[in-house]
Chain A
C-alpha cells in the first residue's frame, strides 16, 4: 500500500525548477480578468488604440501574397530587413551607428534576457538588479540558478553609491557578479527614471569593476514629458547589452523583441537562440517589418503616449484624492506603472484576498524582489484601463486599505503576517492578466 503524489516525476526534476509551486496569490489573480474586477495588476498595453482594421488587412496580405516566405522557417538571427528597421528605431532613442549585424531578433524582450542568461550565467553567479525589478527577469535569473543582489533606488533611479556597496559586498563574499540588469527608463515596477548624471556614474562604476550592463528598455519611447534620457547604450558601446521590444510600441501578441550586443557576443547569442527556438517567427517579423515600413508607427506611439499620459494623470489624481494617509507613490514620466508604498504596518500580499473580494487587483511588491521583501509596496498599472475605471479601482483599493488598517490597529504589530518564501513569480500574475 504505497502513497501517490499524483506526480511520478518528483525525484527527476532539475534543481532549477524546485520552488515552482502553485500559489495562493496566483489563484487570486485568476479572477482579475473578469469584468467585475478593476485590474491594476497587469502590464498590458492598450491594444484597442491600434488601427486594427488596417493591421488586419496588412496581416492578411502578408499571408496571401508573401506566404511562401512569411510562413516558412527563418534564420536564427532574425531577418535582415527587420534588423535594419530596428537600427532605425534605436537611432530615434539616440543609439546611433548600430549595425544590423549586431542585432539579434528575439521572441519578445523576454527571450533576449534568457539568451543573455544562457550565455553568461553559471549557477551561483550573481546578477545585480534594481530593487524592485521586473518579475520576468527574476524568473530568468532563477532558472539560470543565479543569485540576485538588489540595489536600492530612489526617485532618481538606481543609487550609484548603493551599486558600489553591493558590488563590494558581493566581492567580499567571494562570489562573482556577472552583470547589472537595469531598466533605467520608466522602470518596471517602480516607474522611476535614472537621471542623466547618474547614468554616467553607473556606467563608470560598472566599467571600473568590469561588470557588464544589460539595459532593458521597453518603455523608453513612452515618454509623457519631453524625451527620455539617452539610453546607457547610447553613451557606451563596450560591455552594454541593449534589450528592447515591439510589445509596448506596437503589439505584444507578436512577441518580437531584440538585443543589440557587442559584436563578439552576438554569434553566441544567435547559437543559443537556435538551440532554444531554432528561429523567431518569420510571420511575426514580417508583420513588424511591414508595419514599420508602411504604417504610421511614429504617430501610433504618440497615440499610446497621449492615452497613457491621460491615464497616468487619472491614476495619480485618484491616488491623491483617495489614498489613506501615509501612502506614497512614484510619479512616472513615462511607461506603464506607478509604485505605491503603503502606510506603516500594511502588507500588500496579506491584503490581496480582501482586495479581490472588493473586486480590485494589483501586484504585491513581493513579486518584484528575489528575496521575499516588498510587502510594503504594490505595483499599479495605468495603461490598460480607462480613466474612470482607474479611479474606481483606486476607490475600491482605498476602502480595502482602510479596512486592513483598522484590522492592524486591532491586532497591533504582532499581527504582521509571516509569508512562506517562494519564487517572486508566484506573487505576480501571468502575462494574460490585463
Chain B
C-alpha cells in the first residue's frame, strides 16, 4: 500500500469542533450548489411532498377502504358526517375527504395506497433497466469487437419495437394479471435498450480520454479501469438516466393499465385512471374521482423531470451556461 501523499491540513483547535467543521466542509458547498441548481431542489421537494402525503396517510387513515363496496358509492368529497337527501338528513357516515367512486372505494385510501405502488413499479423497472443497460453499454463500448456489434444491433432492434407493444403481447399470452413487482420487472426487461444506447455513447467518448489512456498504460486491468476510472465519472449521467427510466416505466405501466392490462386487485394510479376512463367519470361530473390520481401522476412526472434536468445540469456543465 502506498501512503497518502497529500499533506494534512494544519488543524486549528478552535475551528474543528464537530458540526461546524462539517457544516463548512460538507454542507455549505451543497447548499451553495442547491441554490445554483433550483430544478434539482424543486424536483426532490415535489417527490418528498408526495411521500409525506403517503406516509402521513398510512398512519392516520384507514387504507383498507380501498376495496370496492367498502363505502357508499358516488359520494362527493366532504368533511361532514351527514348524508343529506332532498333537504333531509337520511343518515350518518364517516367523512370522505376525497369522495368515493361508483364501486364504493374510498378515494383517499386509493390515493394513499396507489401512489407508492406506482412508484414501486417505476423504481423496480428503472433499476432493472439501468443495471442491464449499464452492463451492456460497458461491455459493448469497452471491449468493442463482435460483442459491440451484437449488442448494438439488439439495441437498435429494441428501439424500433416499442416495449409497450411487446408487453401487451406477452401479457395477453400469459393470460393472468401481473403483480406490481412482476410488471416492474417486465418493464425493466424491455426498457434497458435506451439507457444502454446513451450510456454506450458516453463510454465511447470517455475511453479516449487522457486519464483512461494513462490508467491503461500504467497497467490497470480492464475491470479496474471500468470500475475505478469510468464508472465514478459516469455516476451523475447514470443517475440522470435512472430517473428518466423510472419516469418512462411509470408512463408505460400507467399506459398498460389504462388499456386494461393492469392488475384489477391493486389500486395503482394507473388502475384508477383505467376505471375513470371505463366509467367515463368526466362525463358523470365526478371530478373528485379523476383529479387525485391525475395530480399525483403530474407531481411524480414533474418531480422526476425536474430532478433529471437538475442532474443533467450537474453532469453536463455546458448546460449551466445561461438557462
On whether the two chains bind one another, the answer is: no
Query: Taking beta carbons and an 8 Å cutoff, which residues of B are in contact with A?
Result: none
